[in-house]
Amino acid sequence: MSNVLFDALTATAAERLWLETPDGRRLGYGDLYRLTAQLAQVLVEAGVRPGDRVASNVEKSPEALALYLAVVRAGGVYLPLNTAYTATELAYFLGDAAPAVFVTDPSRQGEAEGRVAAAGTGGQVLTLGVDGRSGSLLAAAEGRTPDFETVDRGPDDLAAILYTSGTTGRSKGAMLSHRNLLSNARLLKDFWRFTADDVLVHALPIYHTHGLFVASNILALAGGSMIFLPRFEAGAVLDALPRATTLMGVPTFYTRLVREARFNRETTAHLRLMISGSAPLLAQTHAEVEALTGHRVLERYGMTETNMNTSNPCEGARIAGTVGPPLPGVDLRITDPETGAVLPTGQIGMIEVRGENVFRGYWRQPEKTAAEFRADGFFITGDLGVIGEDGYVTIVGRGKDLIITGGFNVYPKEVEEAIDALPGVLESAVIGLPHPDFGEGVTAVVVAAPGAELSEKGILAALEGQLAAFKRPKRVLLVESLPRNAMGKVQKAHLREQHGGLYGP
Ligand code: AMP
Distance 119 CA to ligand 1 centre (A): 32
* Residue 395 CA, closest ligand 1 atom number: 21
pTM of the predicted structure, to 2 decimals: 0.92
Residue whose CA is at the smallest distance from ligand 1 atom 23: 279
Quick one: which atom of ligand 1 is closest to the CA of 210?
4
- Res 166: pLDDT: 57
Q: Which protein residue has the closest C-alpha to ligand 1 atom 21?
A: 280
Residue 377 makes CB contacts below 8 A (sequence gap 6+) with 354, 358
Ligand 1 pocket by Cβ (under 6 Å): 164-165, 209, 277-280, 299, 301-304, 323, 381, 383, 395, 398, 487
- Return the ∠ at Cα 340 (arms to 339 and 346), rounded to 5°: 105
Rounded to the nearest whole angstrom, what is the distance from the C-alpha of residue 303 to the centroid of ligand 1?
Answer: 5
- Cα–ligand 1 centroid distance for 316 (angstroms): 23
Q: Which atom of ligand 1 is nearest to the CA of 162?
A: 2
Compute, in angstroms, the gap from residue 277 CA to the centroid of ligand 1. 7
CA nearest ligand 1 atom 1, residue: 303
Taking phi first (over 0 means left), then psi (-120 to 50 degrees means alpha), and beta for anything else, what does residue 69 get? alpha
Residue 248's Cβ-side half-sphere holds a number of Cα atoms within 13 Å equal to 30
Q: Is the dihedral of CA 197, 264, 278, 72 positive or negative?
A: positive
CA within 13 Å, CB half, 378 = 17
Distance 134 CA to ligand 1 centre (A): 35
What pLDDT is recorded for position 460? Answer: 96
User: 121: CA distance to ligand 1 center in Å?
Assistant: 33
**End-to-end CA separation in angstroms for the chain:** 64
Question: Nearest C-alpha to atom 22 of ligand 1 is from which residue?
Answer: 279
Ligand 1 centroid–CA 381 distance in Å is 10
Q: Which of 278, 380, 383 to mutate to test the pocket of ligand 1 (most atoms within 8 A of CB)?
A: 278
Q: What is the Å distance from ligand 1's center to 366 Cα? A: 23
What's the pLDDT score for residue 54?
98
**What pLDDT is attached to residue 407?**
79
CA of 61 to the centre of ligand 1 (A): 25
pLDDT on residue 488: 86
Closest CA to 276 of 303, 254, 257: 254
| Ligand 1 atom nearest to CA at 305 | 2
**Residues sharing a CB contact under 8 Å with residue 461, sequence separation 6 or more, in sequence order:** none
pLDDT < 50 stretches in the chain: 167-168
**Encoded amino acid at 402, one letter:** L
Q: How far apart are CA 312 and CA 299, in angstroms?
A: 6
What secondary structure letter does DSSP report for 490?
B
Atom 4, ligand 1: which residue's CA is nearest? Answer: 303
Candidate of 176, 395, 401, 487 to mutate for ligand 1, largest count of ligand atoms within 8 Å of Cβ = 395
Q: Could you tell me the distance, in angstroms and rounded to a whole number, from the CA of residue 308 to the centre of ligand 1?
A: 10
d(Cα 38, Cα 66) in Å, to the nearest integer?
10
Predicted local distance difference test score (pLDDT) of residue 1: 63
Q: CA–CA separation, 395 vs 417, rounded Å?
A: 12
CA 387, CA 351: separation in Å to the nearest integer? 9
